[in-house]
């Protein structure tokens, strides 16, 4: 299973478009690019393997593996990158501004559902990030 995230970098934040099977799937918000600075920057472009993760805060969600110089990079719900993210990735249903959007949870749940079904089938889940 493969997702493609196509980013647009802006001073105040990073907006992206998520594709699955070559089709538009939703939007993504992230922190601005700040040279991969932990807790202040989005992560570098690249190809990442997604793994299942569970926490009390986010319940079932996703974690990116092997992010250079970073750890615990998650995909979880958020509607304002600067207020709710520390380097993680948030899917949103509609963009409202730079690093901001609405209705994160429904799209997040769709992504998690697809990924967890793939994990059950023992499929590798890949996220490619590029600009």
- Termini Cα distance of the chain: 20
Domain ranges across the chain: 2-130
Inter-residue contact 93 to 109 (CB < 8 Å): no
pLDDT digits (tens, 9 = 90+) for 19-45: 999 999 999 999 999 999 999 999 999
Q: Structurally, what CATH architecture does the domain formed by 2-130 represent?
A: Beta Barrel (2.40)
Q: Which residues contact 114 (CB under 8 A, 6 or more apart)?
A: 1, 20
What pTM does this model have? 0.96
CA–CA gap between residue 79 and residue 100 (Å, rounded): 5
pLDDT digits (tens, 9 = 90+) for 76-122: 999 999 999 999 999 999 999 999 999 999 999 999 999 999 999 99
Write the DSSP assignment of 98-111 as a string of letters.
TTEEE-HHHHHHHH
């Amino acid at each position: 299973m493969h997702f493609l995230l196509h980013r647009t970098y802006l001073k105040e934040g990073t907006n992206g478009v998520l594709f699955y099977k070559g089709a538009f799937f939703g939007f993504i918000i992230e922190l601005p690019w700040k040279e991969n600075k932990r807790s202040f920057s989005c992560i570098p472009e690249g190809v990442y393997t997604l793994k299942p993760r569970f926490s009390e805060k986010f319940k079932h969600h996703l974690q990116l593996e092997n992010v250079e110089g970073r750890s615990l990079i998650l995909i979880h719900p958020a509607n304002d990158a600067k207020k709710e993210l520390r380097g993680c990735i948030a899917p949103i249903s509609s963009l409202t501004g730079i690093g901001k959007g609405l209705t994160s949870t429904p799209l997040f749940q769709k992504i998690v559902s697809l990924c967890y079904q793939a994990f059950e089938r023992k499929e590798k889940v890949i996220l490619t990030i590029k600009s």
